[in-house]
Amino acid sequence: MDAQAVSVVVAGLGVSGRAAARALAAAGERVVVLESADGERQRAAAGELEPLGVEVRFGEPALPGDTTMVVTSPGWRPGHPLLTDAASRGVEVVGEVELAWRLRDGSAAPWLALTGTNGKTTAVRMLTSILSAAGHRAAAVGNVGVPIVEAVGGPYDVLAVELSSFQLHWSPSPAPLAAAVLNVAPDHIDWHGSMEEYAAAKSRIFAHAGVVIHNADDEWSTRLAGPYEARVGFTLGVPRPGQLGVVEDLLVDRAFVPDPRAQAEELACLADVRPFAPHNVANALAAAALARAYGVPPDAVRRGLAAFVPDPHRIAHVAAVGGVDYVDDSKATNPHAAAASLAAYPSVVWIAGGQLKGADVDDLVRRAAPRLRGAVLLGTDREPIRRALARHAANVPVVEVPGQDTGVMDRVVAEAARLAAPGDTVLLAPAAASLDMFDGYGARGEAFAAAVRRLADR
């Protein structure tokens, strides 16, 4: 970037905004942060930035007249008045990821980047574990872990970069060594405006990638990879040349081998993938493909997957009570994620509901109907799920648990236990966000686990 001091506006005092302000100040830029909220937390953050020469303006301040660039928070929609004002003036708007790419020097660690509607964090942490098993200094950054603008100057050999559609929207330049799209399903349409715009944002991860890695079992992922010659697929089926896939109980590479038509490398066993579920095997294959693009040997893939510790609330087994397994997948905050979770179990009492954000659950319920033994609904948007169950699973008993008090989850778990029989799985996979009742999906998962433990103690 130009060493001359100029006025760069950072939109928001969130984690990425603070990181961007620090990086810009260190690069010699004159930085102004605009923050609409004015509370104790925001004032404390401003106090940390003040010694760096960063000015913070609270309220709804206008864009300064000498602004040459705006670094926006991922959560700010393109239609935000400050951003449209910048566009009308010809002021460039970028995100923290784009800023990080521009600030890195020529010797900086290469990026292995991935995106997707679901599975991003699990896959990027699997990738980091594989890279570490191969002896590389690696970090998970971007939409997970440390802000990427702080990591680009760190002591790393390679960065495992998780990117959301919001981040990609504001990032035209990054050129990762390899990039993967895990899956694409309707999500964040309220932010992007349409499914096509959402998918277009996801596709930016491929624009300058050295190797394009796509999910051959996912229509949108395959479509987005179509224009690129240097592409590699992954599949839950037997891999063709140029793909990674599954042969019996083995994860197999037929892409990063000297002769993909005649050779294959065994990477790991299905037993090395934890927690085991079909969608998690796909995550592991994507992580393995990115690692192999970087030159990681097969044995490190296996060791990395075996050492991987899943984050909480992702198809996590809580307890077995009376022959019934209780599983917390509170992270399944949209129908696509819930569908993957439901597909992992043959006989399910499903706990669902929350904030659907306009998402359609008909296809989810239709596909899951043969394995449903019961459903317990909670949260604001119970009614659309109840109607879908009536259309596609009319014989499945459904219980609605109204209310938003702290005892709701105990009643939910008690009703699920009443519907379940030995051999069933009671699965919290809400297909909806959690902020109608909880501080986040983590709090929802903790409430479920605590209620299950109380049930077990009775």
Distance CA 111, CA 158 (A): 6
**CA angle, residues 159, 295, 246, in degrees to nearest 5:** 100
The encoded tokens of residue 232 equal 């590699």
**Strand locations in 284-396, DSSP E?**
316-321, 324-328, 348-352, 372-377
Pick the closest to residue 183 from 274, 74, 283, 310 (CA basis). Answer: 283
Q: Is 116 annotated as a binding residue?
A: yes
Torsion of the alpha carbons at 262, 265, 271 and 276, rounded to the nearest 10: -70
3-state secondary structure of 329: coil
Q: Is 121 annotated as a binding residue?
A: yes
Q: Is 119 annotated as a binding residue?
A: yes
Distance CA 1, CA 348 (A): 55
3-state secondary structure of 262: coil
SS3 content of the chain, % helix, strand, coil (to 5): 40, 20, 40
- Output DSSP code: residue 311: P
The reply to whether omega before 275 is within 30° of 0 (cis) is: yes
Look-up: residue for tokens 């029989």?
421
Distance CA 25, CA 146 (A): 18
State which H helix or E strand residue 165 sits in: helix 165-169
The encoded tokens of residue 154 equal 């760190």
Look-up: residue for tokens 């209310």?
403
Q: Is 331 annotated as a binding residue?
A: no
Pick the closest to residue 145 from 311, 259, 266 (CA basis). Answer: 311
Q: Is 357 annotated as a binding residue?
A: no
374 φ, ψ to 5°?
A: 180, 165
Q: Is 122 annotated as a binding residue?
A: yes
Distance CA 168, CA 113 (A): 11
Look-up: residue for tokens 């009775």?
458
Look-up: residue for tokens 């394995």?
371
Annotated binding-site positions: 116-122
Annotated binding-site positions for ATP: 116-122
